[in-house]
Amino acid sequence: MASFNTSDFRKGLKVQIDGDPYLMIECNFVKPGKGQALYKCKLRNLIRNTVLDRTYKSGESLEAADIEEIDAQYLYRQGELFVFMNNESYEQYELTAQAVDDAWKYLKEGMNCSMVLFNGTPLTMTPPNHVVLRVEYCEPGAKGNTASNVTKPVKVETGADIICPSFVEMGELIKVDTRTGDYIERVKE
Architecture, CATH, for domain 67-126: Beta Barrel (2.40)
- Cα–Cα distances in Å, from 23 out to 44, 70, 78, 140, 165? 5, 17, 30, 45, 38
Residue ranges matching CATH 2.40.50.140 in the chain: 67-126, 131-187
35: left (phi over 0), alpha (psi -120 to 50) or beta: left
- What whole-number distance in Å separates Cα of residue 2 and Cα of residue 121? 20
Which helix (H) or strand (E) segment holds residue 97: the answer is helix 97-100
Architecture, CATH, for domain 3-64: Roll (2.30)
Q: What is the pLDDT of residues 67-87, one digit of tens each?
A: 888 999 999 999 899 999 999
Give the contacts of 148 (CB within 8 A, at least 6 positions apart): none
Spatial contact of 37 and 19, defined as CB atoms under 8 Å apart: no
Largest CA distance in the chain: 71
Q: What is the mean pLDDT of residues 23-42?
A: 89
Which helix (H) or strand (E) segment holds residue 98: the answer is helix 97-100
Q: What is the mean pLDDT of residues 171-189?
A: 89
Beta bridge partners of 132: 175
CATH class of 131-187: mainly beta
Q: What is the pLDDT of residues 136-168, one digit of tens each?
A: 998 887 666 565 678 889 999 988 899 998 888
Query: For residue 47, what pLDDT is reported?
Result: 83
Phi and psi torsions of 152, nearest 5°: -150, 155
Query: For residue 33, what pLDDT is reported?
Result: 86
Q: What is the pLDDT of residues 88-97, one digit of tens each?
A: 999 999 998 8
> pTM for this one?
0.73
Spatial contact of 38 and 58, defined as CB atoms under 8 Å apart: yes
Query: For residue 144, what pLDDT is reported?
Result: 63
